[in-house]
Amino acid sequence: MSTSRRTVLAAGAAAGLAATVLGTTTAHAAAPRHSPSKKHFGTLADGTVVDVWTVGNGGIRLQVLSYGGIIHSLEVPDAEGRLANIALGFDNLADYVAKSPYFGGLIGRYGNRIAAGRFTLDGHTYQLPLNDGANSLHGGTRGFDKQMWHVEPLTRGSDTGLVLTRTSPDGEMGYPGTLKVQVTYTLTARGAWRIDYEATTDRPTVVNLTSHTYFNLAGEGSGSVYDHTLELAASRYTPIDAGLIPTGELARVAGTPFDFRCAKPVGRDIREGDQQLVRAKGFDHNWVLDKGISSAPRYALTLAEPTSGRVMRMYTTEPGLQFYSGNFLDATLVGTSGHIYRQGDALCLEAQHFPDSPNHPAFPSTVLRPGTTYRTSTVHSFSTR
């Protein structure tokens, strides 16, 4: 995509026109809005009732669990207007609790890995639970994706959505500070799904919130995503060591399998004998978005699926994008529609700060101090071609 076109799209997103996409149709502009409604989804072992909330707008339907703020399903039309659920998940609560690889999860306090589960802030060293070999992943053994959230419906102008709140106590999963978190999922009348994250703390801490939806634009359970095309507006990425921790280098993507600056199929270079791909069993890396941190969401990527014609563009305020090609799906999980999920049957695109930033002073800071508010936003806009 040319720079000028990208700029137009980014400006559109910033102005709340995320689905105004050049050369494509937004199939859903006239679709009705459905006020948020909730139903019983399941009950946790301790008796806590978990709801599934349903929201619809702009032709898109989103289902969210009060457990983990999980994106349970995301239905989006194809080029013929047929809806399919494009997010991996389970049809029951017990599987989400027992074996989910973070399907749809609201990730906190820290998206991705912190090396040895340890970091030092203002002279204090904090130890987090190790739940990924020698490292701490996605907030520890009981991160935000495994906690209950308070959910309120939201209607604002032509937008509709859900406001999720929770207070994470001081010391939860080893992190300092009482963290008050608010995450808003909004569906716009023009077929965009927006996530706004906010947090405040009463002690210095680190925060890196993201959403861990596994996308398959042909539909959940329909097979591999290797034919999806991906364009990523990033000239550099952060190489990883054997434990999938960034080495600290910002490496150029030019001439490597990591070059998605022009759209290419996800699977085209995934079997290259590149040491980075061997380590992660595919793509599982943070791309350094060329736009850097921005105060309003700016263009990051385009994901497209040729058969259905579905296209998803992402815009974010965040400086990084973790692209994970579903490498660890290993045919042991049966998903929402009763299909087995195999390696590469979905991919995650997690807009966030870089992994292990608390141990890399040169990376953009993830420190949050009392008196300041953490604010990040990511927009997913859907269209067809």
Q: Which residues are catalytic?
A: 212, 350
Residue 39 beta carbon to ligand BGC: minimum distance, rounded to whole angstroms: 27
For residue 248, give both structure tokens: 């600290």
Chosen residue from 68, 89, 101, 191 binding ligand BGC by CB under 6 A: 101
Does 283 participate in binding ligand BGC (rule CB under 6 A)?
Answer: no
- 136 lies in the site for ligand BGC, by CB under 6 A: no
Q: Which of 102, 237, 258, 354 binds ligand BGC (CB under 6 A)?
A: 102
Closest CA to 275 of 312, 247, 316: 247
- Tell me how far, at minimum, the Cβ of 366 lies from ligand BGC, in Å: 16
Size of the site for ligand BGC (CB under 6 A): 10
CB of 102 to ligand BGC, least distance (A): 4
Binding mask 211-250 for ligand BGC (x = CB under 6 A): ---------------------------------x------
| Beta bridge pairs of residue 113 | 137
Window contacting ligand BGC (CB under 6 A); options: 7-15, 122-130, 320-328, 339-347 = 320-328
Nearest to 320 by CA among 264, 254, 378: 378
Distance, in Å, from the CA atom of 90 to the CA atom of 100, rounded to the nearest integer, reads: 8
CB of 182 to ligand BGC, least distance (A): 23
Q: Is 366 one of the binding residues for ligand BGC (CB under 6 A)?
A: no
With b for 16 or more beta-carbon neighbours within 10 A and e for fewer, the 37-70 pattern comes to eeeebbeeeeeeebbbbbbbbbbbbbbbbbbbbb
At closest approach, how far in Å is the CB of 214 from ligand BGC?
Answer: 8
Q: Does 99 bind ligand BGC (CB under 6 A)?
A: no
**Binder to ligand BGC among 24, 63, 135, 322 (CB under 6 A)?**
322
Q: Does 276 participate in binding ligand BGC (rule CB under 6 A)?
A: no
Q: Between 231 and 284, whose beta carbon lies closer to ligand BGC?
A: 284
Binding piece for ligand BGC, criterion CB under 6 A, among 23-31, 54-62, 89-97, 322-330: 322-330
- Whether 309 and 78 have beta carbons less than 8 Å apart is answered as yes
Least CB distance from residue 280 to ligand BGC, whole Å?
Answer: 7
In 3D space, the residue among 276, 272, 300 whose CA is nearest the CA of residue 288 turns out to be 300
* Residues whose CB is less than 8 angstroms from the CB of residue 285 and which lie 6 or more positions away in sequence, other chains included: 237, 238, 239, 240, 258, 276, 322, 323
Parallel, antiparallel or unpaired: strands 159-168 and 179-187: antiparallel
Cβ closer to ligand BGC: 102 or 354? 102
For ligand BGC, the closer of residues 110 and 149 by Cβ is 110
Per the listing, tokens 């720079």 go with 3
Site for ligand BGC in 155-174 (CB under 6 A): none
Find the binder of ligand BGC among 183, 348, 351, 379 (CB under 6 A).
Answer: 348
Which lies closer to ligand BGC via its Cβ, residue 74 or residue 348?
348
Distances in Å between the Cα of 85 and the Cα atoms of 21, 310, 324 are 22, 12, 19
Rg, Å, the chain Cα set? 19
Count of CB atoms situated within 10 Å of the CB of 98: 9
Residue 22: closest CA among 39, 7, 9: 9
DSSP state of 95: H
Tell me the torsion sign for CA atoms 149, 328, 141, 323.
Answer: negative
d(CA 63, CA 55): 6
Q: How many CA atoms lie within 13 A of 40 on its CB side?
A: 6
CA-closest candidate to residue 282, choices 273, 290, 294: 273
Residue 328 touching ligand BGC (CB under 6 A): yes
Q: Is residue 208 involved in binding ligand BGC (CB under 6 A)? A: no
The total number of residues shown for the chain amounts to 385
- Verify binding: residue 294, ligand BGC, rule CB under 6 A: no
Identify the residue among 26, 66, 112, 182 touching ligand BGC (CB under 6 A): 112
Query: Shortest distance, CB of residue 141 to ligand BGC, whole angstroms?
Result: 14
Which CB atom, from 350 or from 356, has the smaller least distance to ligand BGC? 350
Q: Which residues bind ligand BGC (CB under 6 A)?
A: 101-102, 112, 244, 284, 322, 324, 328, 348, 350
